[in-house]
């Protein structure tokens, strides 16, 4: 990673910064790759069931050492990759519908397992290696039934794959959103990760409503809330869609993505890390998360 990725000597804590949604659109992938090259990210979470994934994957080559590449398991955006799930769901459901079906025990789990294998395989084929970690688009990997599918395959699959823990959410404001993430399945996932000894982040930061204009101010408060034992902060940056201005027209958080990218690529981000006594690095541990 670049010299400014760890801007302090002997930081008080180490924080992983993971950009989600790589592969969703060319502008998102380009913006994330640019930030990784600057040393501002330690992880990239990849969405592999969309049409832009094969064209975006080459951007993941020749990244700085220490940038983990992971699978952003997607069950709410676009079309299933597997034929088995497409027969049940020609298009993936909205998040609220998926949450309801999961908690009512009405998910087609056999077909979801096929979709997991298809998305995992699409990642491995394009990257040339299995993912270093897995998580879920809109945190779907922690929902009842889905988390069991994920953990079964992580346990039986390649060694050393970590899982994003959503059971210990920290940060300023948006307490309802943090509570919903924890209580829709995050806490249960955390217990299973600890019981199985699967590597995961101790704490998670980064949840907000994407409406706040002052992303730097929000980040400063997240950094202040980061525990001494470290954690993972997730973000959703993107570059401007210069080549195709309409590419992000249907993306409800497109303006927030641009704000995040502008700040994460700036000198003030490095200054804020130094002021908070935080260095960037990996967050995957197997010890107690709270």
Q: Which residues are catalytic?
A: 20
DSSP string, 152-173: HHHHHSSTT-EE---SSB--SS
Task: For Cα atoms 60, 209, 70, give the angle at the middle one, nearest 5 degrees.
Answer: 20
267 closest CA partner among 42, 65, 40, 67 = 40
Cα–Cα distance measured from residue 20 to residue 7, given in angstroms and rounded to the nearest whole number = 23
Find the farthest-apart pair of alpha carbons in the chain and give their distance in angstroms, rounded: 54
DSSP for 172-215, please give it: SS-HHHHHHHIIIIIHHHHHHHHHHT--B-S-EE----S--S-H
CB neighbours (10 Å) of residue 172?
15
Q: How far apart are CA 109 and CA 206, in angstroms?
A: 29
- Any idea what the Cα angle at residue 260 is, between residues 173 and 181, rounded to 5°? 40
**Cβ-Cβ contacts under 8 Å for 277 (sequence gap 6 or more):** 8, 11, 12, 13
116, 154 in Cβ contact below 8 A?
no
C-alpha to C-alpha distance for 254 and 267, rounded to whole angstroms: 22
Q: Phi-psi bin for 129: left (phi > 0), alpha (psi -120 to 50), beta?
A: beta
């Amino acid at each position: 990673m670049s010299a400014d990725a760890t801007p302090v000597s002997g930081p008080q804590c180490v924080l992983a910064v993971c950009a989600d949604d790589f592969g969703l659109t060319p502008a998102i992938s380009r913006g994330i790759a640019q930030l990784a090259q600057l040393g501002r990210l330690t992880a990239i979470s990849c969405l592999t069931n969309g049409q832009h994934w094969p064209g975006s994957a080459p951007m993941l080559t020749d990244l700085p050492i220490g940038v983990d590449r992971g699978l952003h398991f997607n069950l709410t955006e676009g079309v299933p990759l597997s034929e088995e799930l497409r027969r049940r769901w020609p298009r993936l459901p909205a998040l609220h519908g998926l949450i309801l079906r999961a908690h009512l025990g009405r998910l087609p789990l056999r077909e979801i397992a096929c979709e997991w294998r298809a998305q995992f395989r699409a990642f491995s084929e394009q990257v040339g290696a299995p993912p270093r970690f897995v998580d879920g688009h809109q945190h779907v990997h922690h929902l009842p039934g889905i988390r069991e599918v994920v953990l079964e395959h992580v346990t039986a699959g390649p060694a050393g794959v970590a899982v994003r823990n959503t059971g210990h959410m920290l940060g300023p404001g948006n307490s309802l959103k943090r509570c919903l993430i924890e209580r829709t399945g995050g806490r249960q996932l955390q217990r299973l990760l600890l019981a199985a000894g699967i590597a995961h982040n101790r704490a998670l930061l980064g949840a907000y409503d994407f409406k706040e204009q002052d992303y730097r101010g929000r980040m400063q408060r997240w950094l202040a809330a980061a525990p001494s034992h470290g954690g993972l902060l997730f973000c959703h940056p993107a570059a401007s869609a210069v080549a195709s201005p309409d590419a992000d027209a249907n993306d409800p958080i497109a303006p927030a993505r641009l704000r995040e990218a502008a700040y994460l690529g700036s000198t003030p981000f490095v200054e804020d890390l130094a002021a908070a006594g935080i260095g960037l690095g990996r967050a995957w541990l197997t010890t107690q998360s709270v």
